[in-house]
A = this chain, B = another copy of it.
Amino acid sequence: MGIFENISPLDHRYRASEPELWEELSSVLSEEGYLRCQLQVEAALVQALANRKVCSQSVADEVSEACRKITCAEVQVEEEITRHNVRALVNCIRERVSSEAKPYVHLTATSVDILDTARALQMREAVKRWVVPKTQALMGVWLDLAEAEAATPQIGRTHGQHGVPITFGFALSEYISRMGTRLQAMASGAQDLRGKMAGAVGAYNASSLVFSDPMQFEIEVLALLDLKPAGHATQIVEPEYMTDLLHSVVSAFGVLANFADDIRHLQRTEIAEVGEEFRAGQVGSSTMPHKRNPWNFENVKSMWKAYMPRMVTVYLDQISEHQRDLTNSASGRFIAEILAAYVLACQRLAHVTKRLSVDRVRMLANLNMHGQLISAEPLYIILASMGHGSAHECVKDLTLEAERTGKTLGDLVSEDESLAAFLQQMTDEQKTIILHPASYTGASEEKARSVCTYWRRQLEEVDA
């Protein structure tokens, strides 16, 4: 079969567009990848039994060996008979081991002990191997660009309107700072995922029959997988650990989407301050050959629109009746998609941002579009700080006059007798700002650099 038979765009279109990354993600986030995690848990369980001398080490080795060999296809055949996925898995293991080992396979465990613990392993691994590194890579691209453009004047925009000047590096450092807190949340969220080995209703009923200290036994099994139990379990692990992790990923996706939105608007024909690089042979539009569409940035925003609402499913899955109903089972399988989509979007954004062309000349031209009108704010502040009683209204009147007469704000200030006394008090620096708005970037460069310095250091620590 071919990939284009698949129904999910994740498994055809976005697989085709990033085949290497998709293969990697598949190794953990696919059904096959999930099965591998389940088999790890089954093996750890028997190993913990061996550590306690309930069975021999050779039994544990046998089971461990069997677990390395089992495939999804094999389990699927068995599941068609049992109609129960974990029972099918257990049968497959037992078929591969000696009759001495058979009784110890899955001993004291309930299905969800395996499934939920495996899900924690799977998600943690996906976060460690791709979610965190791809986020770091993107932040690296942002850091390089923000530092390179730390002093590049750009007009600040609020409401889509020109406000006061910033630098482009300052604008970029916003995303570094915001993504930084997301990176930490995702990394610690994954680190804090929990497993369980507490049985069918979470009360250690089965394991209490075998051990006088079943809670300690659970700790031992999970420790072999570098996991801890939650404070309490029913048939399932407390859902909030996973809910928190997914919140961190979904909110990080929101930062991607905001950045993508920002950059695609800066590529508007009338603004044109940055541009997405086109490869040779690439077609912008099938009928408008001159267009250069910011389609990769649009794609990232669009993927966020597809995945962000799935957080509602995650919140719905917090609710499970009594010691568990199964209505979080199918829905819970889809969370792997959220991570895959985030990683794909992250890589795409890093790739295209690395090749972003920045048009500093255009940035400056845009900034100066309204001439000295941009200086209305500094003028008002300077006047007010000198004690002018109605600085705001005074400057507003001047701007209206400037618009009407075409004169510059600087000229109008010079001509206005009521301002003469204030003008005399102004420092040269203040006068420069009024005449040359591009110099009115406040602490933009300093802020951009300090954000970059801080997060370069932090990124190294998250790595470690």
Contact = CB atoms under 8 A, between A and B. Distances in A.
B323 A442 contact: no
Contact of A181 (B238, B284, B291): B238
> How many copies of the shown chain assemble into the complex?
4
Interface stretch (A353-361, A391-399, A412-420): A391-399
A392 B2 CA distance: 32
A424 interface: no
Contacts of A444: 203
Interface string A382-393: 101101110110
A254 to B, nearest CB: 4
A99 B16 CA distance: 31
A30 to B, nearest CB: 5
A131 interface: no
A107 B389 CA distance: 12
B11 A6 contact: yes
A12 B299 CA distance: 25
Contacts of A109: 286-287
A303 interface: yes
A72 to B, nearest CB: 4
A331 B302 contact: yes
A320 interface: yes
A399 B7 contact: no
B166 A203 contact: yes
Given A29-B7, A163-B323, A289-B395, A205 B313 contact: no
Contacts of A407: none
Given A163-B201, A244-B251, A442-B204, A283 B83 contact: yes
9 contacts: A161-B294, A163-B285, A164-B199, A173-B232, A180-B231, A185-B244, A209-B381, A309-B311, A309-B312
